[in-house]
Amino acid sequence: MDSLSQLVLGAATAEAIAGKKVGNKAILWGAIGGTIPDLDVFLRPFVNDIHGIDWHRGVSHSFLFFILISPLLGRMVSRIYKNNHGSAKFWGWVMFATLVTHVLLDCFTTWGTQLFWPLQTRVAWHTVFVADPLYTVPLLISVLVVLFIKRTKISRQVVNWVGLSLSSAYLALTVVHKNLANDAFERAFAAQGINVEYFESRPTPLNTILWSGTAKSGDGYYVGYYSLFDSLRPEEMKLSFVPANHDLAIPYANEKDVKQLIFLSQGFYSVEPAEPGVVINDLRFGQIAPFDGSEAQIVFGFHVIPENGSVEIVQNEQPSPSGDEASLLLKALFNRLKGI
């Protein structure tokens, strides 16, 4: 999830645990704790693109990391205040809670986390986009209001819990929306005679009304969009086909970084010829498209370049629409969100 969401979630979590005892100090350290796992982004300049992706939401988002670092953080905070505002154990539990809620929120996103690192598995529930104002705004407002209420007043706790409850209820609603979208996609695949090997859906940017779905079938993937406001019959859902071309990656299949890239894609990847080498597209994050199924640039593509008996993998420049182009895409998103 985006940094602001994690910051205010950490602040609200710490406030719920320690606000009555230490006041705004809980919000401060909760915000810090909620930010710590994402500091792994500072490792990106020191590793190649694949290792950077692998490390992001890796060890710093694991239970093992939380168990090891929480006592250290607790001791540090208690020493800063010379134990006048809680023991090391007390602050250790506060920081542990902010770290755990951070990673649980990330589990709702498409990227997921390596919650059980060093085991090579990512937990990703694909129910919320990496930034969603409907989740963040209630938390942000409640935390800002709480800052100006005395710690001894019951209204402070009420305001904080309202923010936490509204944001948590929204997360629960995203699960309901995902199930509705999955049902619509499954009916469309069946009505159009598509034999699905595996399938995943994910919300489009900034909402959980319009969903994209990607299904592996035969030698490629079917990609489509569904709005909860659609009134289309299952056979009318437009599904575009993306050839998998997995055979193009065979010459590089034994390369460690290629194996890792394919692992990270969780089975959702296509391959295109390039000069030199190939481009491997991670299909989990969709396309920069007008949300109607037409062909468009994949968000995450990686150029595999043969070099001196090995390979170099370079992430393609990510699409970054701005100005009029960004306005047109947002308009297209809103228009498609309204349903067909």
Q: Which residue has the tokens 């606000």?
A: 19
**SS3 call for 270:** strand
Residue 128 has pLDDT above 60, yes or no: yes
Mean pLDDT, rounded, for 110-127: 88
The answer to whether the bond into 205 is cis (omega within 30° of 0) is no
Q: What's residue 322's pLDDT?
A: 65
Residue 129 has pLDDT above 60, yes or no: yes
Please, what's the b/e burial string for 29-52 (b: 16 or more CB within 10 A of its CB; e: otherwise)?
Answer: bbbbbbbbbbebeeeeeeeebbbb
Residue 269 has pLDDT above 70, yes or no: yes
Closest CA to 284 of 300, 308, 305: 300
Residue 318 has pLDDT above 70, yes or no: no
40 residue type, one letter: D
Q: What's residue 296's pLDDT?
A: 59
- Ramachandran region of residue 157, left (φ > 0), alpha (ψ -120 to 50) or beta? alpha
* 304 or 300, greater pLDDT: 304
Q: What's residue 285's pLDDT?
A: 77
Report the percent of the chain where pLDDT is more than 90.
Answer: 68
Q: What is the C-alpha separation between 188 and 194, in angstroms, rounded?
A: 8
Closest CA to 237 of 161, 340, 155: 340
DSSP state string for 175-204: HHHHHHHHHHHHHHHHHTT---SEEEEEEP
Determine how many CB atoms are found less than 10 A away from the CB of residue 272: 15
Residue 139 has pLDDT above 60, yes or no: yes
* 273 or 287, greater pLDDT: 273
CA geometry: angle at 141 spanning 40 and 101, to 5°?
Answer: 35
Residue-wise pLDDT for 190-220, tens only, equals 999 999 999 999 999 899 999 999 999 999 9
Look up residue 206 and give its DSSP letter.
T
Which segment, 156-170, 248-262, 294-308, 312-326, is predicted with the most confidence on average? 156-170
Give the predicted TM-score (pTM) of the model.
0.89
Q: What's residue 295's pLDDT?
A: 56
For the purposes of burial, counting CB atoms within 10 Å of the CB of 134, is it exposed (0-12), middle (13-18) or buried (19 or more)? middle
Q: What are phi and psi of 317, to 5 degrees?
A: -60, 125
Residue 123 β-bridge partners: 113
Q: What is the C-alpha separation between 228 and 337, in angstroms, rounded?
A: 8
Residue 159 has pLDDT above 70, yes or no: yes
**Reading across the β-sheet that carries 198-203, which strands appear in turn?**
198-203, 210-217, 220-227, 239-243
Q: What's residue 273's pLDDT?
A: 94
Least confident of 85-94, 132-141, 157-166, 282-291: 282-291
Calculate the average pLDDT of the chain. Answer: 90
Look up residue 120 and give its DSSP letter.
S
Q: What is the C-alpha separation between 211 and 126, in angstroms, rounded?
A: 10
Residue-wise pLDDT for 29-57, tens only, equals 999 999 999 998 887 777 776 777 777 78
Confidence category of residue 163, pLDDT binned at 50, 70, 90? very high
Q: What's residue 228's pLDDT?
A: 97
